[in-house]
Amino acid sequence: MPHAITKSHSSEAVAFHKFNIPDTLNPGHVTVKFLAAPINPLDMLVLADRYPVKPAHHISGNGVLGYDGVGQVTAVADDVTGLAPGDIVVPSRFGLGTWRTHAALPASALQKLSEAPKDMAFAAILRITVAPAYCLVEDMAPLRPGDWIVVNAGTSAVAQMVTQFAAMRGVRVAHIVRDRPAAELAAVKNALLGLGAGLVLTESELETGDGLAQLQALSVALALDSVFGKAGRALVKALAPGGTYVQLGFLAGPNAQLALDAADLFARNLTMKAFRGTAQLGLRSPAQQRELCDWFVRMFNRGDLKLPPLGLERVDWHVADPAAAEWSVKGAVEIARAGVLGQRKQVLVFKH
């Protein structure tokens, strides 16, 4: 029997459901068994009712959580032509509800991968980690070889993918990471430098001004801020004239403020905006989005793109054992919600 994790429509509680999918498929529909689905910061925003795109699928009135993931088609309605049983698929839009073992879905909600990824965890983060990192490097500012990007929350999976896409363009990335014990910091720095990062600084190195001076000596054309507040202001100050600041999130909390000086926009000619993954992907046609994901998978399969070395922890979801699944998945959600320093991105791996 399929099961799923939903968000109560009246609170931030998560619920575990057993449910049935219909025996006969509606026209245009397919059934899918999910193989893997990440727990993203975005999912925590959805849980807190702070994300504009709401869950599109519901069980007992509760929205099915999970906005990214990968599945395998198990059956298709007679009129479906683009998909066949065995195909590997990812969501073609946000809000699909991937934190479930099985689903009956319109074929139009899914996008087939033309090549199966060597590791399903990579396919599971295509939409919300890999594609956004690509769009951040590609769309937010004109970048030329020699330019730098500065990114905070520098151990995040997105930051680690940004470094890889930037390297393909001859652009280096400075990662700002939170302060942590020396041994752990050394491990983090090594992992990021090994991935191609140009520089790794801690928040306090940045705030005491020495790190800021290091950054200001470079040509920092793009700042990617997931923190906001004081940390975001430091990124604004690090930008070279004509640079672009992009807000990805607000880990500093909803009440943090970022103070601008008169000189930031006017004298240094900065631009400030937010990043919306949906909007950026939406600049590409559905065919272009498919090509993009296929290209990511091809690069991953031949080793030119890597899974974030700092970033993944696999959480098993045993389909045959709903009680164990409920316990491990709800626990994983609580871990994600707590946002403890050093916590790696969790990926739910469905054991069918």
**Chain residues that interact with a copy of itself, rule: CB under 8 A:** 50, 52, 228-229, 247, 249-250, 252-263, 265-267, 269-274, 276
Q: Which is nearer to a copy of itself, 133 or 258 (CB)?
A: 258
Q: Choose between 123 and 143: whose C-beta lies nearer to a copy of itself.
A: 143
Distance CA 27, CA 79 (A): 6
CB of 270 to a copy of itself, least distance (A): 7
Side chain identity at 226, as an amino acid letter? S
Q: Which amino acid is at 89?
A: V
Classify strands 102-106 and 88-91 as parallel, antiparallel or unpaired. Answer: unpaired
Least distance (Å) between residue 278 CB and a copy of itself = 11
Distance CA(241)–CA(238), nearest Å, equals 10
Nearer to a copy of itself by C-beta: 228 or 296? 228
CA 80 vs. chain centroid, Å, equals 30
| Nearest in space to 297 (alpha carbons), one of 116, 171, 60 | 116
Tokens of 297: 């998978």
Paired residues of 200 in beta bridges: 175
Cβ at position 275, least distance to a copy of itself in Å? 9
Q: Give catalytic residues, as residue numbers.
A: 51
Q: Which of 157, 77, 66, 68 is nearest to 111 (CA)?
A: 68
Minimum distance between the CB of residue 254 and a copy of itself, rounded to whole angstroms? 5
Residue nearer to a copy of itself on the CB measure, 2 or 249: 249
Distance, first Cα to last Cα, the chain: 11
